[in-house]
Amino acid sequence: MPRLILVVPPWDTLLRSYESWDFGAVETQLKAQIRQGLERENLLLPHATAFRVVALPSNVPPPEGIDIDRDALRSRLVCSLQMTGEGEAARVAAEQLRQSLVPAFGRGASIGVDLVVDASDESRSHWCPSESPDGLFGDRAAALRAMHAAPDSMPVLGLPGMEAVHLVMVDTGLPVAMLPPAGLKGWPVLEDPAHPQGPLRQPGMPIIGHGAMVARNARAIAPGVRLLDCPAIPDGITQLPVFLASVVAAFHQICGTIAEWQKKEEARLLPRTSWVICNAWGVFDPEPELPGLGYADNPDHPVAAVLRDLAALSADIVFAAGNCGPFCPNSRCNPAYTGPGRSINGANASPEVLTVGAVRTDGIWLGYSGPGPGIAGLAHDKPDLSAPSQFEDGEGFTPNTGTSAACGLAAGAVAQLRTRWPSAVVDPTMLKETLWHTAGQPEGPAGWQERTGYGVLNLAKAADAMPDL
């Protein structure tokens, strides 16, 4: 049985037990709340409490460099559960737990399976067929030309004493040199939320170069934005026990920070800062699935729920399409979730996000890039757009590969647009639709296509199509 992610609104005694790392007390209170809810509704679900609490991912300290109330970051608590039965008994118990959710905790709660997440691989991907000994084609300058992205032509309109746009990198971590010298730098993440004394992954402590590669692409287009680090993603192999629950907890931390930031801006009559969330990661193998609790096609999964919370705060959320395309998928891709209608799933297929596929710098689609449509049950028209990948860095760093590189470029384009058109003026839905309508297909008719979405992102056309201020 997989672990489950349970997200609940806290109450005082639960919060105290949670912060004390008292697994037994947390488990006891959750079970008591479930039993009381079932009794109120006269529901007979005798196995709904057949679980153990095995991790507490929300137990991270507030981010440094910002004056924020800790309670503001705890509007939801994330609990990792393990069903205590085996086989069919465990599946029945998990389904009963799902049915008990609303009676016990209200509609602010969510539950779903927990899975390992990986950064989109930066070393194994290549276009198909290979037309270069090293699998690369062009450099970053060519990639920017393909997107009609010239940063110098669009001035950064920062606010006095602060950047106008915060670009959050949910990835494997950024080097400290890429982070702001003062103030908020990002959010710490527990390496293993099952161990109270375990180390924290702090902003500025990358485990591999993936996050820096993605961030360099974003900064190539939007050099003036503030990069923030959320090192929630493992290295793609087996080094860290970071699971989807930790990503959910991290997203809730980001949500709480944005909400408090916006309250203070409103109180001080300041213009609202724009937030762009870059996610160059995906789940290579969404199995095992459980009825009603799965990740791949479940709009009620805790990941989907927190993405809606972020969208409600007017954050722009950018995701990679993933590297499980049909012609040269990453070796870790589950064949059942490879190719059209399957490879873009879970968070990457959420209607709230901008999903980015990959092409070469000359517009040729890369055969590992996840094609659409999005998995049934979530958004159909995925990917939304495409951007270049498989190119030389040009700065002496690692090559730019996978849909991760494309995701970084697209996030940078969104952030650069936000320096002139903040989310308070042009909401994320309008910006996304503008990007659709101004993208250009490398070949074939205009409109949405399974491989490239609405086409290659065209930053110059998008800027021209934005409203006058």
In 10 A of CB 307, how many CB atoms? 24
pLDDT at 129: 36
φ, ψ of residue 120 to 5 degrees: the values are -55, 125
pLDDT at 275: 98
Return the axis-axis angle of helices 23-40 and 87-105, rounded to nearest 10°.
70
Q: pLDDT tens string for the chain (469 positions)? A: 678 999 999 999 999 999 999 999 999 999 999 999 999 999 999 999 999 999 999 999 889 888 888 788 889 999 999 999 888 999 999 999 999 999 999 999 999 999 888 776 544 334 553 445 677 888 999 999 999 997 776 666 554 444 689 999 999 999 999 999 999 999 999 988 888 887 899 999 999 999 999 999 999 999 989 999 999 998 764 444 567 899 999 999 999 999 999 999 999 998 899 999 999 999 998 876 677 899 999 999 999 999 999 999 999 999 999 999 998 898 889 999 999 999 999 999 999 999 999 999 999 999 999 999 999 999 999 999 999 999 998 887 889 999 999 999 999 999 999 999 999 999 999 999 999 999 999 988 899 999 999 999 999 999 999 998 7
Same-domain status, 161 and 245 = yes
**What are the residue ranges of helices labelled H in 140-243?**
140-146, 210-221
- Give the domain-ending residue among 113, 140, 170: 113
pLDDT at 156: 60
Strands (E), 331-447: 354-359, 385-388
Identify the residue whose tokens are 């729920």. Answer: 305
Same-domain status, 292 and 337 = yes
Assign 232 to helix, strand or coil: coil
Which CATH number is 348's domain given?
3.40.50.200
Cross-strand partners of 168: 228, 277
Amino acid at 212: A
Cross-strand partners of 186: 229
Structural domains counted in the chain: 2
Mode of pairing for the β-strands spanning 189-190 and 200-201: antiparallel
Same-domain status, 265 and 397 = yes
Same-domain status, 380 and 417 = yes
Assign 298 to helix, strand or coil: coil
Evaluate whether 136 touches 392 at the Cβ level (below 8 Å): yes
Identify the residue whose tokens are 């009381």. Answer: 36
pTM of the model as a whole: 0.89
Evaluate whether 74 touches 256 at the Cβ level (below 8 Å): yes
Side by side, which strands form the sheet with 274-279? 226-230, 165-170, 274-279, 316-320, 354-359, 385-388
SS3 labels along 201-216: ECCCCCCCCHHHHHHH
Distance of alpha carbon 345 from alpha carbon 112, whole angstroms: 14
pLDDT at 181: 94
Return the axis-axis angle of helices 428-438 and 402-418, rounded to nearest 10°.
120
Owning domain of residue 151? 118-465
- Give the domain-ending residue among 79, 113, 147: 113
Same-domain status, 80 and 129 = no
Evaluate whether 409 touches 221 at the Cβ level (below 8 Å): yes
- Give the domain-ending residue among 113, 145, 163: 113
pLDDT at 161: 41
pLDDT at 162: 42
Same-domain status, 100 and 134 = no
Same-domain status, 107 and 125 = no
Same-domain status, 10 and 154 = no
Contacts of 417 (CB under 8 A, 6+ apart): 154, 431, 459, 462, 463, 466
Residue 236 token pair: 């793609």
